[in-house]
Amino acid sequence: MKLMVVEDDAETREYLMRGLSEAGFAVTPFAEPRAAMLDLGAHEYDAIVLDRMMPGMDGIDVLKLVRGARISTPVLMLTARSAIDDRVAGLEAGADDYLVKPFAMTELVARLRTIARRPAMTEPEAGLALGDLHLDRLTREARRAGQRLDLSPLEFRLLEFLMQNPGTVVTRTMLLEKVWGYRFDPKTSLVQTHMSRLRAKIDKPFEAEMIRTVRGSGYVIDAA
């Protein structure tokens, strides 16, 4: 997957380059937003990592220009630890996701994988399937190997989000944001508790486990 990284700080840029290359992305780094924007006209990227604070130009303005030029490449914004308003401004300007520095590389990689593969504005499918696991979004029913699973609405949404990103690591914070809509970091094992209940329902009664815990980063669902 081809990735553009726009970050003025050399150390962070180096860190991003290394981490993202190791995760299998083909990374093109830019230290300056103008050069990056010119390059966007010439090359196609699967996703852009854009720093919010750069000398001479605000990341939000860069993003507005990019979106104004009808370039719909998914953008993940990076920002220094600051107010929540920043995130809202970033998302309003057309960012697909937002991450606050300092962040774990696994978190960035997981988020980039989900936004980079997101198809542009397609109708949500009525059903999701992965291996012998089927999800009907209209009846809110889940079945594995033909057997109906008794999921709570929350567990259904959790499973739905995992199945939309099969084979991709989904982090705890991503689940909190996308499934619960929570923007804080709970001290308790909120996500783990619900996840273990979900796994007890969809994995325990069956032979093969579909949901795996990835130590230190999150969860991944795969066809068994």
Partner 1 sequence: MSSTPLSVLRSTVFARVLRAFGLFVLVSLGVLWLVTVLWRDQIDGLEWDAIHAEAAYAEDTIAEVGIKAFLSDYTEPGNRVWEDDYLYEPLEEGQFIHAFRSDEDALLAGYGDLWPDDEAGAALFHPEINVPVRGAAFGYEGGYGVIARFEPESRRDLLAFAQFATFSLFLIGLPLALFVGYFLSRDVFRRINVVSATAAAVAGGNMQSRAPETGDGDEFDRLARGINDMLDRLTQLNANIEAVSVGVAHDLKTPLANIGGRLELLDRDAGDADAVASHVEAAQGYLAELLRVFDALLRLGEVESGRRKAAFAPLDLSALVSGMADAYAPVFEDARKSLSINVAPGVRIEGDGELLEQMLSNLLENALEHSRDAAKVHVTIDASARLTIGDDGPGIPPAHRARIYERFYRADSSRTHPGSGLGLSLVKAIADLHGATVTLDASSPGAVFTLDFSGQAER
Interacting residues with partner 1 (CB under 8 A): 81-85, 88, 102, 104, 154, 180, 182-190, 193-194, 197, 216
**What gap in Å lies between CA 36 and CA 65, rounded to an integer?**
12
How near is the Cβ of 51 to partner 1 at its closest, in Å?
Answer: 19
Q: Which is nearer to partner 1, 102 or 127 (CB)?
A: 102
Q: Which is nearer to partner 1, 146 or 216 (CB)?
A: 216
How near is the Cβ of 82 to partner 1 at its closest, in Å?
Answer: 7
Name the residue with tokens 């929350």.
154
3-state secondary structure of 26: strand
Q: Where are the beta strands (DSSP E) in the chain?
A: 2-6, 26-30, 47-51, 53-54, 57-58, 75-79, 97-100, 127-130, 133-136, 141-144, 147-149, 170-171, 211-214, 218-221
How near is the Cβ of 83 to partner 1 at its closest, in Å?
Answer: 5
**What gap in Å lies between CA 145 and CA 131, rounded to an integer?**
9
How near is the Cβ of 182 to partner 1 at its closest, in Å?
Answer: 6
How near is the Cβ of 81 to partner 1 at its closest, in Å?
Answer: 6
Q: Which is nearer to partner 1, 72 or 189 (CB)?
A: 189
Q: Which is nearer to partner 1, 4 or 107 (CB)?
A: 107
Q: Which is nearer to partner 1, 147 or 189 (CB)?
A: 189
How near is the Cβ of 187 to partner 1 at its closest, in Å?
Answer: 5
**What gap in Å lies between CA 216 and CA 91, rounded to an integer?**
27
**H helices within 93-189, ranges in order?**
105-116, 153-164, 172-175
Q: Which is nearer to partner 1, 83 or 121 (CB)?
A: 83
Spatial neighbors of 188 by CB under 8 A, at least 6 apart, are none
